[in-house]
Structure 1
């Protein structure tokens, strides 16, 4: 495919959001804004619809010229809405939205391209969590037995294009689940390149202090990571660095997180950060001892953007840096994790060398100018060959047919039940 952008006319994308967009609260919110920015850049008209309640942290999409619409689950009002809207593209934010609305889109707007933004593979994260709680080693056999995997992969198969955020997840879908790569599209975070001028503005080793963790606490891997940091790692770091502190930031901290606050031990719960990048720019090291999860970790790309080395686990770094060395250390043993964190914290030369590798990863893997053009071109290519593209996706057609029957009547039953209550 050529890199030059193909001509697009009269494109209207309907995004069906699982939640309203909160780019300052989570990596998922940042990811959605990155996609929205690409559509706006290429002159798409955008309508964003969601059945969720808006929180005070939700960004104002209307200020960007985007129509915001509240929709309802299991309600025929959506049929009239999309018939009138007639978008050329419908993008589902996570597979749950495809399950709820995909059949209605297919029935009422059959010529619209259906795109699934997976965010990350939810079944991968959930299965890892279940195995961790059972004390079991992660295996792909457990994934093959997962009902969540069946649901999410069915949604992928029903769509014309699914956005897969990490190389690990692309390989998993192709090798373990035998999903045809024609309906998969690798699209990591879309980030600005870090030029020399930006690197010169990074704060130096001596201008920085403390460790930091940033994460949304609605997200279970983040809760587990902070608990792990407190119980398995921090006391060893403090023995080596008695004056060091770790500052924990994140939206929606619950009592389980807040009660970990202990100023005497240097374990400080800070709460929501209005500007997470500013927090990370002033820290010396990002710690992310993730024991389960999936996708790309926003806290770790954020560290790279801010010139802040990080220490994480194999799951933390998974699918994120391709052939490039990590901008810090990747370690699963938590005693070693503490030792290398302390060493990186006090070794200026080591710290500076890892600071630079983060910029290389961002510039080579996450360049939004290059990735954005390829993404929009891929949409155009599918639009130009939509009938053939769908004919070749036989399993998708089969599932679409069956789902249209089963989900449609289940939804209509719920709708009828709700109307008489």
Structure 2
């Protein structure tokens, strides 16, 4: 039997590796946030309307690839280990950044996005990795730390992107590609495998390596499918901000690009505090279910506040409340990962990633069209954001019913 101290040290080391990988990945992703829309506009001949249409095409195409490929990658990680899938995802992201840096036309840019959508599984596979090396009662805290890694991306990435892209729109993508390939080498030479051969799936099940087949796992556990529905509603609602934030705050409050960058920084900083400091203590005191419910109520309240705020300073007052939505995914992932076996963690993450792909397909078009309709018809300007808040209220009701069900012992999937 292995020494408990040695085993604990190994788990800490593995978490350190995967956290560093996630931070670097998030920063490289964050670099492109302020730059990609401008690059699309430049390749569209400076036509803002055409650029907006291409943005919808890019988001929808990426979501379609996620919908079909997420379960495939999840099953691959269960059968062959987490590390190969993480490396494949990083390689796909790095190549996508090279497409952004050198693409001569929008069609070449779209090709890179499709490749990235087909291989993007770094965060979902990282979650499966952490479920492998973390005791069930500690997973919500660890997932909170992983959420803070994404916040670091919003804290640092857009600032770097803005600085590097002042004179050359392509330069930030070269920097992001370099950072991603360093990340790939880090994973190749440093990252240990988390899923030993004896805990892997015995065979690759093609019936479950597709969006519909992956739902069998969600249906095979008591309360798992409703929890997955909560995650889908959260992801769907959250798309409203990257879809309309820039247009909404510039039109309603007159915020400049520079001040919007400050808001990205503030949002990222608050997210880090919530996910690295408050999640662990809250889960320990209140449990995963109550932590999830608090996060959903806070997120809904934050959205309704954002949609109501008549002036910029009032919008700012809502950011601490909305930051508590950082409780949602740690609590939700903690509950969901308890319900499946070790060799099914990747399949679980793949299934949820497929649902997220549906959200990525539908969200930008829905919120973008609702926001445009509210402006043209003289309806409340915050209508799209209120719609997102309503989705989180629906998720709260669903979670209230689903999360209180007892967590049964994982049964074999059908």
Which one has more relative contact order, counting CA pairs under 8 Å at least 6 apart?
2
More helix by share: 2
Q: TM-score, normalised by structure 2?
A: 0.26
Q: TM-score, normalised by structure 1?
A: 0.25
> Would you tell me which structure has more strand in proportion to its own residues?
1
